[in-house]
Chains A and B, each alone.
Chain A
Amino acid sequence: MNKEVKMNVYRFDPNKDKEGKFQEFTVPVKEGMVVLDAVHYIENNMDPTLGVRWNCKAARCGSCAAEINGKPSLMCKTRVDSLGDKIHVAPMKAFPIVKDLVTDVSRNWEIARKIPEFTPKKGLKEPWQIAEIDVSRSREFRNCIECFLCQDVCHVIREHDKDYIGPRFMVKAASLDTHPLDSINRSKFLHEEGGAGYCNITKCCQSVCPEHIAITDNAIIPEKESIVDSYYDPVTMLFKKIRGKHGQ
């Protein structure tokens, strides 16, 4: 293993810089080191002002999303020894930059607010009865740690920005739609406000998800089908929803 690695970290301070550039740091490598360890090394020993967002350092909170050698990844999960001896770390491109590696992801809360929230069926007997098999359909989507890497990589968001809610929120909608006791249909929202039609199923989002959620296959495609059904064939749609939630 190399004893040192060249870390090229993107630097941009809005207070003084017109544009950002990479700064190179030489960092000693330890066994099992991840990119976030290397960034911390720089912060602790070379430049404490290096802006980076992190919290759990266990791939559970999704704070430390960045582009590592061009690939949207979590810094806490990317091993230095998987990258060769020159590493470039840059902030996510789909979001406005705040400073260095930190971006402004607040737009995501605005989208989250718009998605019709969980609305249980009326008149359910308490405590609720739910079968494990019905829970398991929703589980995959609920693993989302909101790292927004999928939003970052989606070309529709990069190009059209405001028009499409993005893969993270297709997953969110799927997590609510597959709740066995949810009572509403989010197809109208996804079609008319969510811009789901913009997604052309390139599956880029799916390939970067650190939680290995099959975003396109399991969330987006079924949601798109449900939109088609509800717009063109309300009877099939109703049938599918009923069967999907109680049958199988």
Chain B
Amino acid sequence: MTNENYKSIDTDLLIIGAGGSGLRAAVEAINSGVSVTILSKSLLGKAHTVMAEGGIAASLGDVDPEDNWKVHFKDTMVEGVYISDWRLVEKLAKEAPDRVYELERMGALFDRTPEKKIMQRAFGAHTYRRLCHVGDKTGLELLRTLEDKILHSSNVKIMDEVFVTKLIKKNDKVIGAVGLDMKTGEFIAINSKSTIIAGGGCGRIYEVTSNSWESTGDGIALAFDAGAELMDMEMMQFHPTGMVWPPGVRGLLVTEGVRGEGGLLYNTKGERFMLRYSPQKKELDARDVVARAIYNEIQEGRGTEHGGVLLDISYKGKDFIMKKLPGMYMQFKEFAGVDITKEKMEVGPTTHYFMGGIKVDTETNSTNVKGLFAVGEAAAGVHGANRLGGNSLADLLVFGKYVGINASAYAKTANLEKIPEAEIKDEIKRVSEFINPNGINPYSLTEKLRKTMSENVGIVRNEQNMQKALSVILDIKKEYKNIGVGGNLQYNPGLLQCLELHSMLEISELLVRGAIMRKESRGAHYRSDYPKKDKKWLKNIVFKKNEDKVESSTFLPPEMPPYLKEILPEETYE
């Protein structure tokens, strides 16, 4: 059915996002027999997940037989600084191995041990060697495997380069979404019984980030605008090692795999400074610890002229590096003209992973809004105050499967509602109004936002800077009303920037508000004015939109059962 301005589609299950979590959910939903539509603002196979390098954390024990789910559970809870939801972490730790084997049976080929098992590498703060990997291109293999599976399935419609602009509700239930087909400039209304947000993270709200273009938090903002609760919004992970030079690639990730494979960090005085900050875990301590150490070295004048420190893997020899880190070799060779088999890399912290996001039910991955589910980096609860490397890909597989099962089951019981024409027209009008050649340039406002976030709400935070950031964000929100670009609706990057800036502002504001509320330091959230952890804050901060007002509250999962308490060392406070 085609209207003058838009096309309508009916589907049992709508999945917004074609990253690892969205595609894993799709595989499960297709198996359960519902009709599935997948929307993604990037091309199929290009989602942010494709960049994942180091591996998938799963306690197979193929390299270190002592490993098991209990140790994985403990590592994840401890490094999440006890505010991860244990119910989710238990599932993650127990089920990750099966999800890895399942991916292998779908066709993924992991690196192997001499015993023909799956090879596992060491990663920061994992007790044992735990990351199943494919060189340093694990995300590519994961995504391609799922993509193949879906391309060979029926009853699924993949619509890439469709930008979802709004979720539509009727009587408190999400009944579908409206999106813009970037390739044609045509609007699409999708009527769905059940909807999953798998829209990824929001690293691009900061100036220096490892994240791809699409990581602007749209999925989180869409859910928030539809009334979903968001949690842990103050928890943004800064990865210790991003490239710092040349400027065009500043922030590009240097995988933790480099340290996992033996890479050592030095300051410009030639000192291996991690021995000072973390005598036990050294280079392989949790990301927040290493990132703050590097930040400190640079602040105190022991950094390079480009604002980084040095990372050395060259001593391992060329053969080893070419086998284990071929992507890193190419990345430095081609972008920086540096040969990492001979020279040290220049690295510094980069915005990397969002632990916060949409609050989900720990059994079903549903949100507090009927008919709406969330998964992957867009969802919160698994990683608490700090994510362990490899735990995100594990999260995508484990909870991708759960959400696929549960959202399909929901679809089977729900009715298909048609989005009222008037609502579609309103949304078309709202989006079309950004086409205004006299509007304020969306790029300049976006740059202002990103700069503010980096300067004031970064690795080290304090009240004064955060208040400053908040007032800048509120100013930009006012200016936002007058933004616009020329051209038309078809493949217009400026228009997309207008739409994304809304998500970025929404998320930045909540991030800052959460960070101001949390008057302590915990994991990735470090405040120089409250440098200690505070027992009062052993809880999660939750935001929710009510009409146009934002409400905050706190949340505590139920008490942990004894069999889990036994595994976990008691949290200590100074």
Partner of B247 from A32, A52, A56 at Cβ < 8 Å: A32
Pairwise interchain contact B42-A63, C-beta atoms closer than 8 A: yes
Given the known interface contacts A49-B487, A113-B152, the answer about A62 and B109 at a Cβ–Cβ threshold of 8 Å is: no
A163 within 8 A of B: no
Pairwise interchain contact B491-A51, C-beta atoms closer than 8 A: yes
A54 within 8 A of B: yes
A198 within 8 A of B: no
Partner of A15 from B48, B113, B443, B488 at Cβ < 8 Å: B488
Pairwise interchain contact B116-A53, C-beta atoms closer than 8 A: no
B214 within 8 A of A: yes
A209 within 8 A of B: no
Pairwise interchain contact A99-B151, C-beta atoms closer than 8 A: no
Pairwise interchain contact A179-B109, C-beta atoms closer than 8 A: yes
Given the known interface contacts A15-B488, A55-B213, A120-B105, the answer about A60 and B443 at a Cβ–Cβ threshold of 8 Å is: no
Pairwise interchain contact B112-A132, C-beta atoms closer than 8 A: yes
User: Residues of B contacting A145 with CB < 8 Å?
Assistant: 50, 140
Given the known interface contacts A55-B46, A143-B137, the answer about A15 and B148 at a Cβ–Cβ threshold of 8 Å is: no
User: Residues of B contacting A129 with CB < 8 Å?
Assistant: 116-117
User: Residues of A contacting B118 with CB < 8 Å?
Assistant: 127
Stretch in B5-13, B220-228, B330-338 touching the partner: B330-338
B348: shortest Cβ distance to chain A, in Å? 16
Q: Which residue of B lies closest to A127 (CB)?
A: B101
Pairwise interchain contact A59-B50, C-beta atoms closer than 8 A: no
Number of B residues with CB within 8 Å of any CB on chain A: 70
Bound: A53/B480 CA distance, A: 25
Pairwise interchain contact B141-A59, C-beta atoms closer than 8 A: no
Stretch in B81-89, B162-170, B492-500, B512-520 touching the partner: B492-500
Partner of B493 from A33, A52, A130 at Cβ < 8 Å: A52
Pairwise interchain contact A55-B214, C-beta atoms closer than 8 A: yes
A19: shortest Cβ distance to chain B, in Å? 17
A85 within 8 A of B: no
Bound: A117/B493 CA distance, A: 35
Interface of A, helix, strand, loop or mixed by DSSP: loop
Pairwise interchain contact B497-A13, C-beta atoms closer than 8 A: no
User: Residues of A contacting B212 with CB < 8 Å?
Assistant: 55-58, 61
Within 8 A of B (CB), among A116-172: 117-118, 120, 126-132, 135, 138-139, 142-143, 145-146
Stretch in A101-109, A200-208, A214-222, A235-243 touching the partner: A101-109
Pairwise interchain contact A43-B109, C-beta atoms closer than 8 A: no
Pairwise interchain contact B247-A118, C-beta atoms closer than 8 A: no
User: Residues of B contacting A104 with CB < 8 Å?
Assistant: 183
Q: Which residue of B lies closest to A118 (CB)?
A: B107
B111 within 8 A of A: yes
Bound: A77/B111 CA distance, A: 27
Bound: A77/B109 CA distance, A: 27
User: Residues of B contacting A53 with CB < 8 Å?
Assistant: 43
Bound: A98/B335 CA distance, A: 29
B51 within 8 A of A: yes
Number of A residues with CB within 8 Å of any CB on chain B: 59
Pairwise interchain contact A32-B443, C-beta atoms closer than 8 A: no
A27: shortest Cβ distance to chain B, in Å? 12
A44 within 8 A of B: yes
Bound: A43/B212 CA distance, A: 17
Partner of B246 from A32, A55, A98, A126 at Cβ < 8 Å: A32
User: Residues of A contacting B135 with CB < 8 Å?
Assistant: 139
A83 within 8 A of B: no
B249 within 8 A of A: yes
Bound: A15/B489 CA distance, A: 10
Pairwise interchain contact B213-A132, C-beta atoms closer than 8 A: no
Bound: A129/B114 CA distance, A: 10
Partner of A131 from B112, B144, B442 at Cβ < 8 Å: B112
B44 within 8 A of A: yes
A31 within 8 A of B: yes
A92 within 8 A of B: no
Bound: A54/B215 CA distance, A: 12
Bound: A142/B133 CA distance, A: 13
Q: Which residue of B lies closest to A101 (CB)?
A: B491
Bound: A49/B441 CA distance, A: 11
B45 within 8 A of A: yes
Pairwise interchain contact A58-B249, C-beta atoms closer than 8 A: yes
B485 within 8 A of A: yes
Within 8 A of A (CB), among B305-343: 327, 330-331, 334-336
A34 within 8 A of B: yes
A37 within 8 A of B: yes
A67 within 8 A of B: no
Pairwise interchain contact A56-B336, C-beta atoms closer than 8 A: no
Q: Which residue of A lies closest to B337 (CB)?
A: A32
A42: shortest Cβ distance to chain B, in Å? 11
Pairwise interchain contact B490-A15, C-beta atoms closer than 8 A: yes
Partner of A135 from B109, B441, B487, B490 at Cβ < 8 Å: B109
B106 within 8 A of A: yes
User: Residues of A contacting B134 with CB < 8 Å?
Assistant: 139, 142
A56: shortest Cβ distance to chain B, in Å? 4
Extra inter-chain contacts (5) besides given A30-B247, A113-B152, CB under 8 Å: A13-B487, A32-B247, A56-B213, A138-B109, A139-B135
Interface residues of A (CB under 8 A from B): 13-15, 30-34, 36-37, 43-45, 47-63, 77, 98-100, 102, 104-105, 109, 112-113, 117-118, 120, 126-132, 135, 138-139, 142-143, 145-146, 176, 179
| A-B pairs with beta carbons under 8 Å apart, 6 shown | A34-B335, A44-B447, A117-B152, A127-B118, A135-B111, A138-B109
What are the 3 A-B residue pairs with the smallest beta carbon separation, nearest first? Answer: A32-B246, A48-B494, A49-B487
